[in-house]
């Protein structure tokens, strides 16, 4: 979408052009049956000064101004999209911080995620696999938003989370194992009781496979 300068060669008096706005929004072109519907309308002359157009401009000058406006509009849209992405990331981080305090997470990872094997290559592979599973466990913990001390009483919500994600039983168990380890760790820190979430029963395994 944006501003467009349309020539008016048969017009007797200047300017021999007019300003239009073209929109590709479905809401603006709801009556169109084209594959890529669009709608355009004229910008009234009283609005020209506020947009930087005037009767004394040549067609080339008017097109240059339209190009400038469209570039500004595109930058604004990009900024809005970047701001939206940044806000979504901030909200996600806030959800993580609410259930996964960064200081405790750092200590947990140092204790249980980073491999201490002397073999560098094996150490790298084991640490990478552990981080991938731990990251999956973190997403689950943030999504359900329940304190680990209460997990045992709401294990059905944890199972439902994995069911929606269509996680295999084998991978579910590996994620659950590290999640339970976190639950034990953080509850010990907070002096709260913790019961690990049991693996799904056989009947549920069929569903989650």
Mean pLDDT of 166-178: 90
Q: What is the pTM of this model?
A: 0.58
User: CB under 8 Å to 194, separation ≥6 — which residues?
Assistant: 148, 149, 151, 152, 183, 184, 187, 188
Give the residue from 178, 88, 170 showing the smallest Cα distance to 137: 178
CA distance 150 to 138: 16
Report how far apart, in Å, the C-alpha atoms of 188 and of each of 164, 169, 192 are: 30, 28, 6
Q: What pLDDT, on the 0 to 100 scale, is given for residue 96?
A: 84
23 pLDDT more than 90: no
205 pLDDT more than 60: no
Predicted confidence (pLDDT) per residue in 69-79, tens digit: 999 999 999 99
Which of 28-37, 61-70, 166-175 is the least confident region? 28-37
The answer to whether the CB of 59 falls within 8 A of the CB of 38 is: no
For residue 189, what pLDDT band results from cuts at 50, 70 and 90?
A: very high
Domain ranges of the chain: 2-89, 100-208
Mean pLDDT of 84-95: 86
159 pLDDT more than 70: yes
CA distance 196 to 178: 10
The answer to whether the CB of 78 falls within 8 A of the CB of 68 is: no
CA distance 174 to 160: 16
CA distance 183 to 42: 63
The answer to whether the CB of 100 falls within 8 A of the CB of 87 is: no
Predicted confidence (pLDDT) per residue in 92-114, tens digit: 888 888 889 989 999 999 998 87
Q: What pLDDT, on the 0 to 100 scale, is given for residue 207?
A: 42
């Amino acid at each position: 979408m944006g501003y467009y300068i349309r020539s008016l060669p048969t017009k007797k008096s200047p300017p021999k052009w007019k300003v239009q706005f073209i929109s590709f929004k479905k809401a603006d072109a709801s009556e169109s049956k084209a594959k890529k519907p669009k709608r355009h309308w004229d910008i009234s002359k009283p609005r020209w000064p506020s947009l930087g157009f005037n009767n004394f401009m040549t067609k080339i000058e008017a097109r240059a101004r339209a190009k400038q406006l469209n570039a500004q509009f595109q930058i604004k849209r990009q900024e809005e999209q970047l701001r939206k992405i940044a806000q979504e990331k901030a909200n996600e981080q806030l959800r993580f911080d609410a259930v996964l305090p960064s200081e405790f997470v750092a200590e947990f990872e140092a204790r249980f995620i980073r491999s201490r094997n002397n073999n560098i290559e094996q150490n790298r592979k084991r640490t990478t696999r552990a981080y991938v599973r731990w990251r999956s466990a973190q997403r689950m913990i943030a999504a359900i938003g329940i304190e680990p001390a209460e997990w045992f009483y709401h294990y059905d919500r944890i199972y439902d989370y994995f069911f929606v994600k269509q996680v295999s039983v084998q991978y579910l168990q590996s994620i659950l194992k590290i999640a339970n380890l976190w639950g034990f760790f953080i509850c010990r820190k907070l002096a709260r009781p913790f019961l690990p979430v049991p693996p799904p029963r056989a009947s549920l395994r069929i569903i989650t496979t």
